[in-house]
Amino acid sequence: MDLNVRDARQDDLNEVSGFATKTWDGWDYVPNVWDDWLDEGVTLVAETEDEVVGVVHGVTGGTDDEEAWLEGMRVDEEHRREGVASVLTETALERLAGEGATVARCMAFDGNDAALALLDELGFERATTLRHGRGFGFPYGSMIEEANYDESLEVLRDSDAFDAVSGLYATKDWRVWSVPEKVDDYAGDVLGFVEDDDVRAVALCDGVRVNETGEEKRTELVLGLVWVEPRYASQFALDVRGEARERNINDALVFLPDDDETVSAFDQAGYEFDRYDHIYERRIIDG
């Protein structure tokens, strides 16, 4: 197969939408972010005989833009298992390395056997597994404070949760970067809970996203990594829901380490967990 990979253009959207929306039962977020993709990072399409058959987007980030994130890989179902995804991925990684990225990451879910096989073939290794859960805003109130002091990050970085997630956190754009060392290097809010002069919980709050699925839109307060001492987990889980309600946001979206005790506490506090988010990474240049 004669395959050409090039930068995406605005007029590729119709063809991309045609196969992208068949990937997830008739709806896909890619058309909604197309303009953003063209403005940020690297967006590539693969074409054969003047027909677009695949797409991928990549962007650099992290404290010094030395990390890269791959997302939105879609391949026309009639051209799968023809090497399209591999060529797109390798081309994107080469471009991102040229922009200074030393490591690339992406996300894959349980049951997506094709993606898992591709990542293994391309030399990606699983870095960690996150659990994300949604809880409706709760009219309870909140003891959470906007900490925004480096001590909170120091506590977080010394925690078992930090080790469990390989020092990574998620953003409202569903990307995953390394937890910064200083509050000044973090664009969001560092939320905390203090009792008896000790930090008992820390959450990296990346802001608000709009969760759009079909015709339904809901706002979500995104906490990209939550650490909490076990005895405070249930209370903190409710506080997070209360924090969302106090900000007039529909839901709280939390990313947790794959820890049964913590996930169970949030589950009992009304959060719904429906899958495992596996984070894979590959070093692309020495750094």
pLDDT digits (tens, 9 = 90+) for 153-192: 999 999 999 999 999 999 999 999 999 998 989 999 999 8
Q: Is the per-residue pLDDT at 215 higher than 80?
A: no
pLDDT of the residue at 1: 67
Judged against a pLDDT cut of 60, whether residue 287 lies above it is answered with no
The DSSP secondary structure of 128-173, one letter per residue, reads EEEEEEEEE--TT----EE--SHHHHHHHHTSHHHHHTTTEEE-TT
pLDDT-derived band of residue 214, with 50, 70 and 90 as boundaries? low
Q: Are 257 and 164 contained in the same domain?
A: yes
217 part of a folded domain = yes
Domains: count for the chain: 2
Q: Residue 224 is part of which domain span?
A: 130-276
Query: Whose CA is closest to 247, among 225, 264, 222?
Result: 222
Q: Is the residue at 287 inside a domain?
A: no
- pLDDT over 90, % of the chain: 74
Same domain as 68, residue 181: no
Reported confidence tier of residue 142, pLDDT bands at 50, 70, 90: confident
Residues 146 and 259 grouped into a single domain: yes
Those residues with Cβ within 8 angstroms of residue 47's Cβ, 6 or more apart along the chain or in another chain: 3, 4, 5, 6, 53
The pLDDT score that the predictor gives to residue 176 is 98
Asked whether residue 86 falls in the same domain as residue 134, the answer is no
What phi, psi does 182 have (nearest 5°)? -125, 145
108 in any annotated domain: no
- What separation in angstroms does the CA of 287 have from each of 89, 94, 99, 104, 283? 20, 15, 13, 12, 9
Q: Indicate if 135 and 271 belong to the same structural domain.
A: yes
The answer to whether residues 76 and 175 belong to one domain is no
The pLDDT, as a whole number, for residue 21 is: 80
Q: What's the whole-number mean pLDDT along residues 103-113? A: 91
* Amino acid type, 9: R
Domain ends where: 86, 101, 116?
101
What confidence score (pLDDT) does residue 148 get? Answer: 77
- Residue at 107 is within a domain: no
Using the predicted structure, report yes or no on whether residue 46 has a pLDDT greater than 80.
Answer: yes
pLDDT, position 225:
97
Query: What is the pLDDT, as a whole number, of residue 11?
Result: 96
Both structure tokens of 78: 């009639």
Round to whole Å and give the CA distance between 175 and 158: 23
CATH at residue 267: 3.40.630.30
Residue 97 identity (one-letter amino acid): A
